[in-house]
Amino acid sequence: MHKLDELSTVKRSFARSDYLYRSGDKFRSLFAIHSGSFKTQILHEDGREQVTGFQMAGEIIGLDAISTDTHACDAVALESSVVCELPFNKLEALSREIPLLQRHLHKLMSREIVRDQGIMLLLGSMRAEERLAVFLLNLSQRFATRGLSATQFQLRMSRQEIGSYLGLKLETVSRAFSHFQSERLINVKVRTVEILDLAGLQACLNNTR
Amino acid sequence: MHKLDELSTVKRSFARSDYLYRSGDKFRSLFAIHSGSFKTQILHEDGREQVTGFQMAGEIIGLDAISTDTHACDAVALESSVVCELPFNKLEALSREIPLLQRHLHKLMSREIVRDQGIMLLLGSMRAEERLAVFLLNLSQRFATRGLSATQFQLRMSRQEIGSYLGLKLETVSRAFSHFQSERLINVKVRTVEILDLAGLQACLNNTR
DNA sequence: AATGCGGTTTGATATATGTCAAAAATCGTG
DNA sequence: CACGATTTTTGACATATATCAAACCGCATT
């Protein structure tokens, strides 16, 4: 497994709002986020934009570029971040030698597919507050996985970015936050979120439309 | 490349509304659609459903299952169909030997990711008629790729299934069809579609919201 | 040819979310 | 520390799509 060391060549640092890559860039590497966080977004010619994901430490970013050897979206740092470059041709070569790595890579890509389909479900069939609840619960869970608090955290993204991700306008996101607060499900002060009632948030989802 | 022959073991036939696999099924194989077409859908516990894609001949189905060794969605035949089973462990073994196959597999998965993100853009930021236009143009393009008419085809799915895919109610889909017809962009008679003005349909998309 | 049934179309109305606008809070910078 | 710029919140109103309902159609079966 120390063969993997020959992979992790470069570490690169990014400030808030720096681009890790841009749509159209030639694809060479995947990136492992070492610290910090990013958003990925698609920009449509007519100016429409869609945030397709928020990625945090430990996650791999850039899988969409394999398909055409060209990055299909932008990746932008949401805060000071460090990423580790993983040259894809080396990764492919190694994964031919190490079946476990091969399997890992496949699972990684498949997991991204499943994640995206979950968001399709969210965008296609949930209402505004349900979407926000899913979003918060997902964040909570990911923070917990990283040994951080599942109930208190800082949002790294704006209302507008959350809205773009959830297919809502920023005002709708803001109102949903306020409503959750008035229901005593969360405390929210701009970007500081405290979840008061995890089960209550989950219950939002079961109220069939 | 005839090594691939040892892969394509079994061909299986399905009638309309037969399941190719169900969510929760143990993952063993990917499936190449030989003829016919399928839909994939996620069912949420509360009864919500989301069609995540329509697949036709030549496409590979089942990539979502790699992530957890369990199928994450249902695949249902939309008409009489034949699929070719591709045992995944054999596929992985072969792709360690044949870098071209490995690359092909990676591109396949990545393409699915890009496709899904395109649908996220559609669901997150387009209006009903734009969504339907994208849907029709996509179908048209895929039929053309298969040597079929780009302008005249039969829909294999119901208004309700189209609606689920596009995040709309069936009535909204029906109205959008009718409106396109009144605009002389298409002729539609239930499931028979004729595109009269491809450019006009494309133009729907450029009208920024 | 008649019957029944699921799917589709269309209309009237309800509602969730978007839009526009202004005030308030927060953040970054000099 | 103060300033201006940005982000967030909140309100009033507009609108796209959902909902409910009825009629219609086409297909399959008898």
Q: How far apart are CA B176 and CA B126, in angstroms?
A: 13
Cβ contacts of A47 on chain B, cutoff 8 Å = 208
pLDDT at B48: 84
Q: Where are the alpha helices (DSSP H) in chain B?
A: 88-97, 99-125, 128-145, 159-166, 170-182, 198-206
- Comparing CB atoms, the residue among A102, A112, A125 nearest residue B92 is A102
pTM over the 0.85 mark: yes
pLDDT in tens, B65-124: 999 999 999 999 999 999 999 999 999 999 999 999 999 999 999 999 999 999 999 999
Cβ contacts of A44 on chain B, cutoff 8 Å = 121, 125
Nearest Cα neighbor of B33 from B86, B90, B107, B95 is: B86
CB contact under 8 A, A117 and B116: yes
Nearest Cα neighbor of B139 from B181, B205, B194 is: B194
pLDDT in tens, A173-182: 999 999 999 9
pLDDT at A208: 58
**Residue B192 φ/ψ, nearest 5 degrees:** -100, 125
Residues of chain A scoring pLDDT < 50: none
pLDDT in tens, B108-121: 999 999 999 999 99
Q: How far apart are CA B75 and CA B162, in angstroms?
A: 15
pLDDT at A129: 97
CB contact under 8 A, B125 and A73: no
Q: Chain D bases under 7 Å from protein CB?
A: 7-12, 16-21, 26-27
pLDDT at B191: 94
CB contact under 8 A, B113 and A114: no
pLDDT tier for residue B1 given thresholds of 50, 70 and 90: low
The crossing angle, in degrees rounded to 10, of helices B99-125 and A99-125 is 20
Cβ–Cβ under 8 Å, residues B195 and B184: no
* Residue A53 Cα distances to A27, A59, A73, A172, A193, angstroms: 19, 11, 11, 19, 19
Distance from CA of A100 to the nearest CA of B (A): 11
Q: Is pLDDT at B142 greater than 90 in this prediction? A: yes
Work out whether strand B74-77 and strand B81-87 pair parallel, antiparallel, or are unpaired: unpaired
pLDDT at A88: 96
Give mean pLDDT, residues B134-146.
97
Q: How far apart are CA B83 and CA B81, in angstroms?
A: 7
Q: Is pLDDT at B129 greater than 60 in this prediction? A: yes
Give mean pLDDT, residues B172-186.
96
Cβ–Cβ under 8 Å, residues A6 and A90: yes
pLDDT at B9: 73
Residue whose CA is minimally distant from C7 C1':
B158
A with B: how many residue pairs have Cβ under 8 Å apart? 150
**Residue A202 φ/ψ, nearest 5 degrees:** -60, -35
Q: Is pLDDT at B202 greater than 80 in this prediction? A: yes
- Please give the distance of CA B124 from its chain centroid, rounded to a whole number: 19
- Which nucleotide is closest, CA of B161 to its C1'? C7
pLDDT in tens, B13-70: 999 999 999 999 999 999 999 999 999 999 988 778 899 999 999 999 999 999 999 9
CB contact under 8 A, A121 and B48: yes
The DSSP call for residue B117 is H
Nearest Cα neighbor of B40 from B67, B3, B78, B2 is: B78
Give mean pLDDT, residues B135-144.
97
